Structure 1
């Protein structure tokens, strides 16, 4: 009996070793960490989720290839919030969007999309349009290309219209070299696992269901199962001990599973609230301030609207988010809150 007990104990301990799949599949390209759901092209298929393939250029630059839109450089991957920040290799994302950013056969979507119209204007005319965002990589010596949110200003009498396309709300990042656009994905959902500092991976060798290993392999290994089968003929006392052990494991799993479901539901409700935005009645209830001639603000260093990046001017209406006390142009934050309930600066949700 002692020999059988020792054999089973050794096999049980072997099943609790850290998962080798997370160690094998976690790689890097330059400074970018690559892990599930992403994988590099030369890795095993089960290292990543379908359609999450990346490539490593010159062992330093991570590249995302979109089926109908070509290659983009990966600036950063935020695994916790499931966002991937990509950029045009030539630092001209507006050009790529005008060519047509087609995400239909990918798991990705634009983060907070909004319609913008691009215009080609005489250089002198574009300088007199405060709401127009100048696009230097598309402009020439005697003309300027600008983009304006749909419905803000009619430039048809001054400029020629090029195209109306969907762009992320953070579109003003085009003005800085090296910045790009943000994409997000919903499936597979590894947010909860990332918050628990676990390893998100497939539950089995064939299906697409994912789970969180918390750094340890899921279930019993093949050697452990063989050990259990080998110990069928041992005395009743050993079998009873095994039954008690498995019963406790099952109780612990049920308790843990119920807690995780409750936490997952809570997070889902919060994310759903962020995605839907606020109704007009709630937005109108947020306080509005008419800026005086002195343009004096409670926070002296915050004299620019973080949505449109324009400085506040006298007699402009500013709206404040009560929970965090951040303020913006009333028109800018109203449009934002209709799409997203979270504050653009601190991401807090009412």
Structure 2
């Protein structure tokens, strides 16, 4: 996957101008193009089921037949993912009854079974690391929390004061940033990777084609020549970067004393007054949790096996640091250097805001 991301930059450099008749639009700074379309555009601008509305150029909205309306936070056209949130900012309230995606082209991203609990002990979220405290559903005398089903038995003695609300299968979600969905049809990943524009092949039917970009006007032999000509040097460069990064990590580990396993930080917020541009200070960065990988190299998120900063795969006994809000992992040395210059997550670009009420693994 890391090589795919690098090669995409090379392929984009051979992008050609796209043909006429394409329907790009923007809503609230978010690019809206095929397979999505705004409700004000012609039907052939988007694929069925991908209709968005734009409210006063402030919010892009996605309406799901059996789940209701959501605010669109981000669309990743290359990996075909969309992040949506409850308009009132309380996505868990929509998830607690189950998310019905029937009649839509979407499916949950990284689905996991959660138990939602109503607890009279307000401190329960601090005692159980896997608990997600849901402030928008909690009150002065009770706390609503969610915990993965496969972790429930481990903490059953601590959850004696909690009553079960529901057990539901939910997508990858965050109490602040919403939840992630993905789609497989139409498959425009190859076209997006090549810098082209995905669109309908004709005025009727659902067949699609790629207009412009690397996939148009270049012979197969020329494409292979570009891929191998650029790919081999990039592979060599990637190997060198990984080697140097491991050397730096060995040096870091030699000079730092650490505990094995996962440490839960003392959470606090000391964000730079200037925002994303100036990054975070040392104490705030050090407050982000550290994970030391065991020999299995398994993380809580499936597929999280590569650092998105240095593009190297994680190795056993390496130190990873986690951004608490979005739960994205990176090599500790890589993320520390990044956060000194930019407070936003390198992967999802959201600006972290650590809350003392939310402690999760």
TM-score band by shorter chain is: 0.5 to 0.7
Which structure has the larger Rg? 1
**1:291 pairs with one of 259, 268, 277:** 259
User: Is the 2:307–2:313 Cα contact (8 Å) retained in structure 1?
Assistant: no
TM-score by length of 1: 0.60
Cα distance change, pair 43–215 in 1 and its aligned pair in 2 (3 A): farther
User: Is the 1:110–1:183 Cα contact (8 Å) retained in structure 2?
Assistant: yes
2:205 maps to: 207
List structure 1 segments (4+ residues) > 4 angstroms apart after TM superposition: 215-218, 252-256, 300-305, 344-350
Verify: 1:340 aligned to 2:303, yes or no. yes
How far did 1:318 drift? 3.3
Q: Deviations over 1:151-191 (max 9, x none)?
A: 2132663210111122334x3x31x3xx1111111111111
Cα distance change, pair 123–166 in 1 and its aligned pair in 2 (3 A): same
TM-score by length of 2: 0.58
The DSSP-based 3-state class of the residue aligned with 1:162 is: strand
Structure 2 matches for 1:94-105, cutoff 5 A?
94-105=92-103
- State the distance in 1 between where 2:215 and 2:260 align: 63
The DSSP-based 3-state class of the residue aligned with 2:96 is: helix
Cα distance change, pair 42–348 in 1 and its aligned pair in 2 (3 A): farther
Q: Deviations over 1:283-304 (max 9, x none)?
A: xxxxxx99269x8xxxx99767
User: Is the 1:75–1:86 Cα contact (8 Å) retained in structure 2?
Assistant: yes
User: Is the 1:84–1:182 Cα contact (8 Å) retained in structure 2?
Assistant: yes
User: Is the 1:17–1:217 Cα contact (8 Å) retained in structure 2?
Assistant: no
User: Is the 1:19–1:217 Cα contact (8 Å) retained in structure 2?
Assistant: no
Structure 2 matches for 1:69-218, cutoff 5 A?
69-124=67-122, 126=124, 127-152=126-151, 153-154=155-156, 157-169=160-172, 171=173, 173-174=174-175, 176=176, 179-214=177-212
- State the distance in 2 between where 1:119 and 1:216 align: 51
Verify: 1:37 aligned to 2:5, yes or no. no
1:319 maps to: 293
**2:24 pairs with one of 20, 26, 31:** 26
User: Is the 2:195–2:214 Cα contact (8 Å) retained in structure 1?
Assistant: no
User: Is the 2:194–2:214 Cα contact (8 Å) retained in structure 1?
Assistant: no
User: Is the 1:18–1:217 Cα contact (8 Å) retained in structure 2?
Assistant: no
Instruction: List runs of 5+ in structure 1 lacking aligned partners.
Output: 1-15, 219-248, 264-288, 306-310, 323-329
- State the distance in 1 between where 2:199 and 2:285 align: 43
How far did 1:100 drift? 2.4
User: Is the 1:73–1:86 Cα contact (8 Å) retained in structure 2?
Assistant: yes
Cα distance change, pair 53–259 in 1 and its aligned pair in 2 (3 A): farther
Q: Considering fraction of residues, name the structure with more helix.
A: 1
The DSSP-based 3-state class of the residue aligned with 2:97 is: helix
- State the distance in 2 between where 1:349 and 1:104 align: 36
Cα distance change, pair 321–66 in 1 and its aligned pair in 2 (3 A): farther
The DSSP-based 3-state class of the residue aligned with 2:181 is: strand
- State the distance in 1 between where 2:287 and 2:150 align: 22
How far did 1:42 drift? 2.0
The DSSP-based 3-state class of the residue aligned with 2:180 is: strand
Structure 2 matches for 1:196-345, cutoff 5 A?
196-214=194-212, 253=219, 255=221, 291=259, 311=289, 318-319=292-293, 333-336=298-301, 339-340=302-303, 342-343=305-306
